[in-house]
Structure 1
Amino acid sequence: MSVVEQARRARDAAAELAVATRTVKDAALVAMADALVARTPEVLAANETDLAAGREAGLSAAVLDRLALDAGRVAAIADALREMAALPDPVGEVVRGSTLPNGLELRQIRVPFGVVGIIYEARPNVTVDAAGICLKSGNAALLRGSSSAAHSNAALVAVLRDAVAGAGLPADAVQLLDASSRDSVKELMRARGLVDVLIPRGGASLIRTVVEESTVPVIETGVGNCHVYVDAAADVAKAVAVTLNAKTQRLSTCNTAESLLVHAGVADTFLPPMLAAFAEAGVTVHGSPEVAAYSAAVVPATEEDFATEYLSADISVAVVDSLDAAVAHIRRFGTGHTEAILTDSASAARDFVARVDAAAVMVNASTRFTDGGEFGFGAEIGISTQKLHARGPMGLPELTSTKYVVTGDGHLRG
């Protein structure tokens, strides 16, 4: 089936989802969760096929880990759907409302986008997360995963479609596009008028391609060259602990710290314990000459290092002379995702927050907190790094648009 035909079927499904009650949608989410648990062996068998092919193709250990499923991971994915069902339904929420001087009643309410296309890489959990968050927000989902997860995604979508249909909603609310060819991505990006919005999730190259080539509106997500700036007024012990967490709590996420900036005034007391902590954690430091002076283990950093989202046990480190220099460095190399300052100076924190341009700015906290769940939003489809419509963690409200409902009693405009 062509992408255009799938998109047309998705539009028909979206029309039904738009008027579905929360009770029906939540029942479908729970049915999806129950079906995943019941059919776990089927999903794991498909996943093993992908893993075997990935090992043969020489995929890295990190990619294979993101691709791998087991009974525990499937159960966690199912639990996420149940948690989603418990969240408030954004559809129909009144954003604002008033009675105009002429007596007209004006309401702005949340409505679904309609058809949401999601292009993503080798994370089968995204298949379920995306399908669930789209359904809860009243949208039909067109899912285009990577070829490396093709069997896993096909098995997951088969389970989800059966559950959705069994709950009384159209199965075409969840559809998987062919991952064997790039043509499906190109067709999806050109399906303007059938697909309402595209959300790319993955590396910089994928996101750049979708943003630059799509005629369908795109919400840009993901790339996170996140910085931690240790100010002259930082508490050294806290700064070491927070920086280590920001880098090592999980290496392969977009909110992981990839670059560390250290004020020269605190370098002598901060860098020796920080470099020792990195070494113990197996993190390779790519440092400026000032950083290399503290340890022979430091690898000389290049301009490319400071621009890199490693997603690995690597970090770039530089010493800066001032907060101004730190902000200038972030403006040059940052991606607008998450930036952090560690300081006991309220004025330095205010200055940093005001001047750094990012979706999230942390003060004395790990970059790893930029997450829909950690923010208390529940489900999240990604972290938007753009400035239109949605910025930061994209929860259920961010997967809606709005419409104005104007109610009168025979009102005429004079």
Structure 2
Amino acid sequence: MIRDTETLQILLDSLRQFVGEVLIPRENEVADTDAIPQDIVEHMQAMGLFGLTLPEEFGGLGVTMEEEVNIAFELGRTSPAFRSYIGTNNGIGSIGILLDGTAEQKQHYLPKLASGELLSSFCLTEPDAGSDAASLKTSAVRDGDSYILNGTKRFITNAPHAGIYTVMARTSTEIKGAGGISAFIVERGTPGVSLGKPDHKMGHKGAHTCDVIFENARVPASQLIGGVEGVGFKTAMKVLDKGRLHIAALSVGAAERMLDDALRYALERKQFGKPIAEFQLIQAMLADSKAEIYASRCMVLDAARKRDDGHNVSTEASCAKMFSTEMCGRVADRCVQIHGGAGYVSEYAIERFYRDVRLFRIYEGTTQIQQIVIARNMIRDAQG
């Protein structure tokens, strides 16, 4: 649901200008240095991009789901590293505090997240727990007015830069599955908390991940999200549809960027005396990509509007995430093919995008997890 069309359009226009005039020209710099320049971070802070989804009462913009996916369409048109840097504050890094946190926790942390003063990370995945998140082993044992945390979290986005970590840990060994898992806000510098070496990934240069290690880390009981055990993980699972729609929208934006670049190249590149865009087999790849992007955009917008209207969109969000991320991979492959040999060298952005967008089919739930979610929901609905 768009609350004010004019206001949203102003935001989207300024964001489109920022992406086109500031971010896209700096993509190679980020890829070469593996870092987001500080002046860009400050620019994003000034635009309010760290608090897009956080409520206005905490200094955010409080965008709706439909507004958020429209923003993601724009952000997807440049290197995913830029979006990743602000992404945790707008999603999994803040959502537990926002939905389950005590009044004190919200007042203390959310304004700092909205302004970008603090960067957040979400610590769920472990060496032996990923898609089966309820099997995590990181423990939190009550000891007076504190909890002692032990365990290792893996592939944690923004961990090298985060000021706070939302950590999922098992507070009960008797309650199996999600019910025995609680969420904690752990501040950077807490004794017993250390970071592993940065991961060297296939793509996403400038977007950093690493292990977060807890060795008898003492965390005050006041940092238990909501002050109640067994709550945080359940809430995180309930809002997965939001993150999945966001990644689906990013995939649409990235696919549009890749197709625009491929079309421009096809119009400029000549073979046999004419632009390769005039060859029908090139046209087929362009047309297939355009149609799939259009279908994805429609799916994402439809699901976002239904979520804003209060509907359960678990199935729709998984459909959109699965189709859009897989679509993005197909578009990337076609666009490399259209570029020919030029698509395999780093002089052209498509070589980097081809590697970057591969991750979309993995995080926020793999394609295979989306298939399971969709099928299980279908079976449940059919059985009443």
TM-score (norm 2): 0.28
Choose between structure 1 and 2: higher helix proportion: 2
More strand per residue: 1
Larger C-alpha radius of gyration, 1 or 2?
1
Provide the TM-score with structure 1 as the length reference. Answer: 0.27
